[in-house]
């Protein structure tokens, strides 16, 4: 283990010199996975956003030997050093022969726990010299003409050693799923059954200052849990477990909120779930960084966040042919929702003045992507139709994108969307049907779907794709005459609709 950790540490040091090259570049990527990202953003009064710091998130998605797959999302803060180190060192500790198909669940959990312990210790070894120099310089009383140089050096050292990361790791071995979590990222497992029902599980709870189990753990160390809950943060972060961050690991007795602790209060020990069998499972796994979760919850409240993100992913899977495009589209949508709430000036706008880096990793489990066979050259065209998201005090409406595929033959394909509510470790059935709009009540226990109809508005077409005219246009696929008749009757408009055209 020591040798492998040394390899990982050396490679991370090389990575610090060249951010674009890493020993993990030679490992095979998992092709059943897609990742979407967005940098942090602060909005000005005019609604325009600016990035306040370099992206600090990280991720991994590798295919190992013996049917082993490793995924991770890393939420870095105060720099990306810890996130970068952890992503490479964890890979070295888990994919260099440590795991094989003969291991039991207990073996896998033990190996995962040991891997996190090695990552934590190895990281602090890489900054030992800088911490020692920092402590040495801090004790010197120097003449004024030299103190400025010392202060500049201390600032450099602080940037070098500060920072930490929270981590969510998913491991698939022997067709079983294992989750190891440290901190405030989120993992969702969505399973679709053969009868069209869907279940969503949030695997584990965030290690945050409102987690009762974590508060009890801290209280057992002699800390005031009520005070920690009220503070909402520990040394600038809401997480009670994290990798790195020497301030809360070595200098916690100098932090007022933690000074009474009998031992190290903020730890890097992972909470491990699994193995959960994936035999016969159809669905997808989501790993989300804290920034993505917070952006969505800031915009719409926390009640429906899991439902909304699952609905978005299902909608994109119904219309995209690439998992990378699916993940990026969902992240872009959350970013857009967050921005739109800010510029709207509505009640939640005050919570949306900024967002942190966002990362979403999607791993499909026998879940089909959209049919790539329907392309414009073959007479088919995917036309996404977006419906705005609405939110009120009593209900949360989640309207997702419907993919209308206009094929060359007389068929209509609707993207299907699913949603289900989520309690801790408790599956909740949802419903699945061709939908245009997905509406979920705000009770955390119900979901419903409204049908888009039978497709009668769509004219029957011949088996051959329509050819464009000299202007590049093709005949319309949709007959709106019925819509205009209904619209006219509802609005008391007595004029006749001629030729399928609406009111002039």
Q: Does 309 map to a domain?
A: yes
Residue 369 Cα to chain centre, angstroms:
19
Q: Does 486 map to a domain?
A: no
Q: Does 8 map to a domain?
A: yes
Cβ atoms within 10 A of the Cβ of 325, count?
A: 16
- The reported pLDDT for the residue numbered 65 is 83
Residues 202, 242: Cα–Cα separation, whole Å = 20
Residues 327, 37: Cα–Cα separation, whole Å = 8
Q: Which two tokens stand for residue 265?
A: 């209060």
Q: Does 70 map to a domain?
A: yes
Cβ atoms within 10 A of the Cβ of 373, count?
A: 9
- The reported pLDDT for the residue numbered 306 is 93
Residue 417 Cα to chain centre, angstroms:
19
Q: Residue 111's closest CA among 254, 229, 245, 275? A: 275
- The reported pLDDT for the residue numbered 494 is 47
Q: Which long-range contacts (CB under 8 A, 24 or more apart) does 154-161 make?
A: 157/130, 157/133, 158/134, 159/79, 160/81, 160/127, 160/130, 161/127, 161/130, 161/131, 161/134, 161/246
For residue 277, the 8-state DSSP code is: E
Q: Does 467 map to a domain?
A: no
Residues 162, 185: Cα–Cα separation, whole Å = 20
Cβ atoms within 10 A of the Cβ of 182, count?
A: 27
Q: Residue 400's closest CA among 294, 297, 319, 285? A: 319
Query: Could you tell me the maximum CA-CA distance found in the chain, to the nearest angstrom?
Result: 93
- The reported pLDDT for the residue numbered 133 is 86
- The reported pLDDT for the residue numbered 21 is 56
**Contact (Cβ atoms closer than 8 angstroms) between residue 172 and residue 278:** yes
Instruction: Please give the average pLDDT of every successive group of 10 residues along the chain, which has 504 residues.
Output: 44 44 76 96 94 96 91 96 95 92 95 97 92 82 70 85 95 96 97 77 95 96 95 94 94 93 96 94 96 96 91 92 96 96 92 97 92 45 39 38 37 32 38 33 32 37 52 64 72 49 43
Number of domains within the chain: 1
E strand spans, 292-430: 354-355, 358-365, 382-385, 390-391, 396-398, 402-405, 413-414, 416-419
What are the phi and psi torsion angles at 282 (to 5°)?
-120, 125
Give the dihedral of Cα atoms 249, 253, 258, 259; nearest 10 deg. 170
Residues 62, 71: Cα–Cα separation, whole Å = 7
Q: Residue 268's closest CA among 130, 86, 126, 94? A: 86
Residues 95, 282: Cα–Cα separation, whole Å = 26
Cβ atoms within 10 A of the Cβ of 469, count?
A: 9
Q: Which two tokens stand for residue 76?
A: 């870095």
Q: Which two tokens stand for residue 135?
A: 């402590």
Question: At 334, which CATH number?
Answer: 3.60.40.10
Q: In what order do the strands lie in the sheet with 41-43?
A: 49-50, 41-43, 354-355
Residue 135 CB-density burial (10 A; 0-12 exposed, 13-18 middle, 19+ buried): exposed
Q: In what order do the strands lie in the sheet with 382-385?
A: 382-385, 402-405, 413-414
Domain with 119, as residue range(s), is 1-365
Q: Does 477 map to a domain?
A: no
Q: Does 394 map to a domain?
A: no
- The reported pLDDT for the residue numbered 482 is 74
Q: Does 385 map to a domain?
A: no
Residue whose token pair is 């996404």? 384
Cβ atoms within 10 A of the Cβ of 141, count?
A: 5
Pairing type for strands 354-355 and 198-202 reads: unpaired
């Amino acid at each position: 283990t020591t040798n492998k950790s040394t390899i990982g540490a050396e490679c991370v040091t090389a990575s610090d010199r060249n951010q674009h090259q890493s020993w993990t570049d030679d490992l095979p990527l998992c092709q059943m996975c897609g990742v979407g990202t967005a940098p942090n953003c602060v909005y000005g009064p005019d609604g325009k956003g600016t990035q306040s710091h370099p992206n600090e998130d990280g991720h991994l998605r590798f295919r190992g030997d013996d049917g082993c797959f490793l995924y991770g999302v890393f939420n870095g803060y105060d720099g990306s050093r810890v996130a970068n180190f952890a992503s490479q060192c964890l890979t070295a500790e888990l994919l260099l022969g440590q795991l094989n198909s003969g291991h039991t669940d207990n073996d896998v959990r033990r190996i995962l726990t040991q891997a996190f312990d090695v990552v934590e210790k190895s990281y602090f070894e890489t900054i030992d010299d800088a911490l020692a120099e920092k402590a040495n310089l801090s004790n010197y009383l120097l003449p004024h003409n030299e103190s400025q140089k010392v202060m500049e050096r201390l600032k450099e050292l602080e940037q070098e050693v500060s920072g930490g990361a929270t981590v969510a790791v998913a491991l698939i071995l022997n067709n079983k799923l294992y989750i190891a979590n440290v901190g405030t990222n989120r993992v969702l497992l969505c399973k679709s059954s053969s009868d069209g029902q869907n279940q969503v599980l949030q695997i584990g709870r965030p290690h945050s200052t409102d987690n009762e189990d974590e508060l009890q753990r801290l209280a057992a160390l002699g800390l005031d849990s009520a005070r920690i809950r009220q503070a909402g943060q520990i040394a600038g972060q809401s997480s009670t477990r994290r990798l790195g961050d020497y301030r809360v690991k070595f200098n916690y007795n100098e932090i007022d909120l933690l000074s009474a602790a009998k031992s190290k209060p903020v730890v890097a020990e992972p909470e491990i779930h699994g193995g959960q069998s994936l035999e016969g499972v159809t669905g997808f796994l989501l790993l989300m960084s804290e920034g993505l979760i917070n952006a969505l919850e800031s915009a719409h409240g926390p009640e429906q966040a899991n439902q909304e993100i699952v609905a978005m992913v299902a909608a994109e899977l119904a219309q995209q042919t690439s998992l990378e495009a699916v993940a990026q589209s969902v992240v872009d949508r959350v970013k857009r929702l967050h921005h739109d709430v800010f510029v709207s000036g509505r009640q939640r706008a005050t919570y949306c003045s900024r967002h942190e880096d966002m990362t979403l990793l999607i791993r499909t489990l026998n879940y089909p992507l959209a049919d790539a066979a329907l392309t414009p050259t073959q007479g088919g065209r995917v036309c996404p139709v977006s419906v705005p998201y609405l939110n009120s005090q009593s209900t949360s409406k989640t309207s997702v994108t419907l993919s209308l595929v206009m094929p060359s033959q007389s068929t209509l394909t609707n993207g299907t969307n699913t949603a289900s509510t989520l309690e801790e470790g408790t599956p909740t059935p949802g419903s699945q049907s061709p939908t245009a709009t997905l509406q979920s009540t705000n009770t955390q226990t119900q979901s419903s779907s409204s049908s888009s109809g039978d497709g009668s508005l769509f004219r029957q077409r011949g088996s051959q794709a329509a050819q464009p005219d000299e202007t590049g246009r093709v005949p319309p696929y949709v007959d709106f005459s019925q819509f205009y008749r209904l619209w006219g009757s509802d609005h008391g408009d007595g004029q006749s609709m001629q030729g399928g055209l609406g009111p002039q």
